[in-house]
Amino acid sequence: MESISIGLLGLGTVGSGVVQIIEKHQDKLMHQVGCPVVVKKVLVKNLDKERAVKVDRNMLTANPDDILNDNDIDVVIEVMGGIEDTRDHLKKALNNGKHVVTANKDLMAVYGPELLSAASQNGCDLFYEASVAGGIPILRGLVDGLASDRITKMMGIVNGTTNFILTKMSKQGSAYEEVLKEAQDLGYAESDPTADVEGLDAARKMAILSTLGFSMNIDLDDVKVKGITEITEEDLQYGKQLGYTMKLIGIAHREGEKVEVSVQPTLLAESHPLASVQDEYNAVYVYGEAVGETMFYGPGAGSLPTATAVVSDLVGVMKNMRLGVNGKSAVTPQYEKKLKDADEIYAKYFLRLHVKDEVGTFANITSIFSDHHVSFEKILQLPLKEKGLAEIVLVTHQASLQDYEDILVNLRDLPAVQNIKSSYRVEGSARV
Amino acid sequence: MESISIGLLGLGTVGSGVVQIIEKHQDKLMHQVGCPVVVKKVLVKNLDKERAVKVDRNMLTANPDDILNDNDIDVVIEVMGGIEDTRDHLKKALNNGKHVVTANKDLMAVYGPELLSAASQNGCDLFYEASVAGGIPILRGLVDGLASDRITKMMGIVNGTTNFILTKMSKQGSAYEEVLKEAQDLGYAESDPTADVEGLDAARKMAILSTLGFSMNIDLDDVKVKGITEITEEDLQYGKQLGYTMKLIGIAHREGEKVEVSVQPTLLAESHPLASVQDEYNAVYVYGEAVGETMFYGPGAGSLPTATAVVSDLVGVMKNMRLGVNGKSAVTPQYEKKLKDADEIYAKYFLRLHVKDEVGTFANITSIFSDHHVSFEKILQLPLKEKGLAEIVLVTHQASLQDYEDILVNLRDLPAVQNIKSSYRVEGSARV
């Protein structure tokens, strides 16, 4: 090959990072793939906008077909975002025999299997390492490193914004709203933070991770999601007191042939490797039957880390081109999807209640748990300032989600229970 | 291919694990490589010894040539250990066109470049993921994940025995000798623990890691080594008080074209991602210019984790066989080796002294530091039980190793300094 030509869809911060890295590491790329790597054309919305990176005006185009129909372009790198149009572009690129590298988790969480299948049919590579946890090579870790193992559990801190917010809340003892504003001012949270704080972003990444790790087509709709907007300082304080750290955790758990995939605020035992992941950092904890516990840690976002992951994928594509083996590395899901029912999902739970401080209240409450065969690991009861009320904080032993939800319904019906203040999943010791 | 035949050198705990995993995951391996995978022959010393795994007596041999000269054997897996004889076996295997997977860090640290070159000349793969940090896919992480970045720093907790000992010393407040005995009783330390506790095992792994990460032939002799045998409870206590955790850390640091590779007990800021790596676990922290901080965490040893890494390498070899691209993935070192001199290695240091409690002592000591333009981050002075003596504990700002060693010489010459009790490198904040 004389050179490898790239078409870039999008020139925001990640796109600019990709251009910069390809320029800066040209020698290293040459050393690895044996020929120059050239960005030939770049799709942008506005041809005249000022850019963070110097790009020849003639390389810019507002028409995607200038890239998708250009026979000289070998690889399309997609960093424009969006779902429906972007899917059309990438299908066209693949049908025209171009390899694709994408950083687009929204797209891959929805159309991943369809696009991978199009890639495979056209003998093209479709790599998407940057779509999950930006700078962490977790997808390669799953595919290559654990190729001979059976992954039974993945737990991820896969959203930097929420981890930043929870770390700050925990360290400063500040309220959610206050820290969110701080995060927005610092650029760690967007002005509309919904996708992050409601857990949707994390859910997309867990759909991608579990599809790959369990070799099963997990859709976004299969992921149960709860965000962090209702977490209070009191919850964090009680958590600390009991030896837990609050994190937004994506959990993908396989037992036998059935899986559970969910995202929710979780009280994590402080001894767990994920508990020390702070600020905007991400980490994915993987449990394999043979290897045991492993964890991959790094920046989850940021233009340079994400761009690095994109260029790493590009190197993978180019090595395959040199070897003539493109389109063969996609791993097709091997198993039929089987989701656990609520009575098959087991976890420990933290529950905080306000109750009337009357004779028999405590007995009534605990008997609801024992009726469902759920016992306690920890119980605190404290008087409240408000007269005649008490606060009860408890952590259960393992309970099925079905039983736990039934217990919540029964508790709400109990006249002595004034308010269920909060309820979180608890993930236990580091040893799974 | 009808099937892929394996010759196994060694049937200890790792070898038994490999046999078990290949049996247990036969379906999965079939799915990935498209044909059965069969262990054909196994080299053992004693044909009649009782084994942890059931292996047909006819498969065992005490003669390596039964494997190395067998034309049907495609891949040789080496888990027998040892250096000189093993090197001869593997060179023979490679010269006979067999691919090689090895878990042998001792061998790779000494003969790695020679064996990789033999592999390349014969169009064979030589994979050695299991040789560094058993269950952690760190070598793939370095080669693939960070292919487009420039790695400037690697820090590793790459020896499980010493991390187990230091964790226990720190948690229990016990003495080194006591915890070593406990570790030996539990099987975490060998009866002759020298290679572990003196840092040699970690040095071998750092030689392998830095050769790959810096693309430079780093020999074992290039790695400066200090072990953990002289660490006292007092040092751990003072460390804690100042916000540090004691770890045996391998450091590989590149600035410009020059590198430093060393292994030594290090006081690590508690906020550093490596500081929370406990017990027998390993982790490698990698800093890349573009990606920033990443960390790979997992079990560093153990028969199943190591066997898993071996079988992952085997899958890599077999995929390459299917694609017909063996022998092309070895990355030859790109740069000439340039080691930093002592006046180019900068770090912070912790120093604990016993001094005579006399007028002017403190001034004399601090002026030695200022003569070498080294200033302090933290200073503690405390009276000692022994009359007329005081203990001084200090942490310097960044100083060159040359300056620091000169300071130690000057301090020893000072009549008021009774004893230099301990001295450790300090690694600062998580942000490098």
Q: Is A328 on the interface with B (CB under 8 A)?
A: yes
pLDDT at B146 over 70: no
Say yes or no to pLDDT of A382 above 70: yes
Go through chain B and tell me how many residues it has: 432
- Please state the rounded mean pLDDT for residues B105-117: 93
| pLDDT attached to residue A146 | 61
The pLDDT-based confidence of B351 (bands split at 50, 70, 90) is very high
pLDDT at B387 over 60: yes
Q: How confident is the model at residue B114 (pLDDT cuts 50, 70, 90)?
A: very high
Q: Is B378 annotated as a binding residue?
A: no
Does residue B353 have a pLDDT over 50?
yes
Q: What confidence score (pLDDT) does residue A429 get? A: 65
Tokens 């429906």 label which residue?
Answer: A84
Q: Is A13 annotated as a binding residue?
A: yes
Per-residue pLDDT tens over the stretch A309-318: 999 999 989 9
Checking if the pLDDT of A431 tops 90, the result is: no
The answer to whether the CB atoms of B144 and A145 lie below 8 A apart is no
What is the pLDDT, as a whole number, of residue A303?
Answer: 87
Number of alpha carbons in the 13 Å side-chain half-sphere of residue B403: 20
Cβ of residue A292 closer than 8 Å to a chain B Cβ: yes
| Interface residue B15 vs chain A (CB under 8 A) | no
Q: Which one has a higher pLDDT value, A334 or A418?
A: A418
pLDDT tens per residue, range A130-185: 999 888 888 888 886 567 789 999 999 999 999 999 999 999 999 999 999 999 99
CA A250/CA A206 separation, integer angstroms:
6
Highest mean pLDDT range out of A244-253, B45-54, B105-114?
A: A244-253
Looking at per-residue confidence, does A211 or A330 come out higher? A211
CA distance A187 to A185: 5
Residues 403-432 of chain B with CB under 8 A from chain A are: none
The residue ranges of every structural domain in chain B are: 4-134+303-323, 138-299, 342-426
Closest CA to B28 of B323, B311, B310, B324: B311
Mutation test of the interface with chain B: which of A6, A37, A125, A144, choosing the one with the most B Cβ atoms within 10 A?
A144
Domain spanning A343-426: CATH 3.40.50.300: no
3-state secondary structure chain A: CCCEEEEEECCCHHHHHHHHHHHHCHHHHHHHHCCCEEEEEEECCCCCCCCCCCCCHHHEECCCHHHHCCCCCCEEEECCCCCHHHHHHHHHHHHCCCEEEECCHHHHHHHHHHHHHHHHHCCCCEECHHHCCCCCCHHHHHHHHCCCCCEEEEEEECCHHHHHHHHHHHHHCCCHHHHHHHHHHHCCCCCCCHHHHCCHHHHHHHHHHHHHHCCCCCCHHHCEECCCCCCCHHHHHHHHHCCEEEEEEEEEEEECCEEEEEEEEEEEECCCHHHHCCCCEEEEEEEECCCEEEEEEEECCCHHHHHHHHHHHHHHHHHHHHHCCCCCCCCCCCCCCCECCHHHCEEEEEEEEEEECCCCHHHHHHHHHHHCCCCEEEEEEEECCCCCEEEEEEEECCEEHHHHHHHHHHHHHCCCEEEEEEEEEEECCCCC
Whether residues B144 and A316 touch (CB distance < 8 A) is answered with yes
The answer to whether the annotation marks B12 as part of a ligand binding site is: yes
User: From the list A29, A273, A281, which residue is nearest B297 (CB)?
Assistant: A273
Task: Please report, rounded to a whole number, the percentage of residues in chain A having pLDDT higher than 70.
Answer: 97
Percent of chain A with pLDDT over 90: 79
- Provide the CATH topology of domain A4-134+303-323: Rossmann fold (3.40.50)
CB pairs under 8 A, 24+ apart, for B191-197? B193/B161, B196/B159, B196/B161, B196/B162, B197/B161, B197/B162, B197/B165, B197/B227, B197/B228, B197/B229
Please check the confidence at residue A346 and state whether its pLDDT lies above 90: yes
Fold of B342-426: Alpha-Beta Plaits (3.30.70)
Contacts 24+ apart (CB under 8 A), B211-214: B211/B112, B211/B113, B211/B333, B212/B139, B212/B142, B212/B143, B212/B331, B213/B142, B213/B151, B213/B154, B213/B252, B213/B286, B214/B151, B214/B252, B214/B254, B214/B259, B214/B335
Q: What is the mean pLDDT of chain B?
A: 93
B190 is in an annotated binding site: yes
Read off the pLDDT of residues A179-237 as tens digits, 9 standing for 90 and up.
Answer: 999 999 998 899 999 999 999 999 999 999 999 999 899 999 999 999 999 999 999 99
Q: Which CATH superfamily is domain A138-299 in?
A: Dihydrodipicolinate Reductase; domain 2 (3.30.360.10)
pLDDT tens string A348-368? 999 999 999 999 999 999 999
Q: Which residues of B are catalytic?
A: 205
The pLDDT of residue A25 is above 50: yes
Residue B430: the pLDDT is 35
Output the pLDDT for position A320.
86
pLDDT at A337 over 60: yes
Q: Which residue of A has its CA nearest to B137?
A: A145
Supply the pLDDT for residue B432. 33
